[in-house]
Amino acid sequence: MTIDVLGGVVLAAALVPLPLGLGLGPEHGWPPLAWVLLAVGAVIGALLPSIERRAHAPLLTGQLLRQHSVRLGLLATFAFYAGNTTTMLGLTLFLQQGLGIGALGAGAGYLPLGLAYMAATLAARRPGAPSGPKAML
């Protein structure tokens, strides 16, 4: 199995400056560095499709993205994580700023949720079902 190392590096190089710029901007009144980080991430990200078109084993192929089920799955995943992230951020802010709980206590508040996720994952696995990285392929 070949891995598209260049595509992975370009994707990481595009994704790292974006959240840094978004985190730095509102916190510090949108200094020039925040805008530079956002621009760098956007420019590097714009290079990714052309790099992937020439790759021997691209991260995502156009053929894959043309499948309705894949697009629907990506949309559902985005919606889930957008809601999940918003809920986690809101709960963290409420625990720390609203109730005055420290970071360690607020983090410990997520322990039951993490354990529930783990238990549900283990319970949902069918006996004898394929597992591991090759099972996804």
Give pLDDT tens digits for 18-49.
999 999 998 899 999 999 999 999 999 999 98
The Cα 62–Cα 58 span in angstroms is 9
DSSP 1: -
pLDDT value at 132 more than 80: no
pLDDT value at 17 more than 80: yes
CA 99 to chain centre: 29
The Cα 15–Cα 19 span in angstroms is 7
Residue ranges per structural domain of the chain: 1-64, 67-125
Record the tokens describing residue 3, joined without a space: 């891995």
- In 94-132, which residue ranges form alpha helices assigned H by DSSP? 103-108, 111-124
Between the alpha carbon of residue 46 and those of residues 13, 26, 40, 69, the distances in Å are 11, 24, 10, 25
For position 122, what pLDDT does the model report? 86
The CB density around residue 111, as the number of other CB atoms within 10 Å, is 9
pLDDT value at 136 more than 60: no
Of 25, 119, 15, residue with least CA distance to 7: 15
The Cα 103–Cα 92 span in angstroms is 9
pLDDT value at 108 more than 60: yes
For position 121, what pLDDT does the model report? 86
Indicate the pTM of the whole model: 0.57
For position 131, what pLDDT does the model report? 67
Residue range 58-106, pLDDT digits in tens: 887 878 888 899 889 999 999 999 999 999 999 999 999 999 999 999 9
Record the tokens describing residue 66, joined without a space: 């043309």
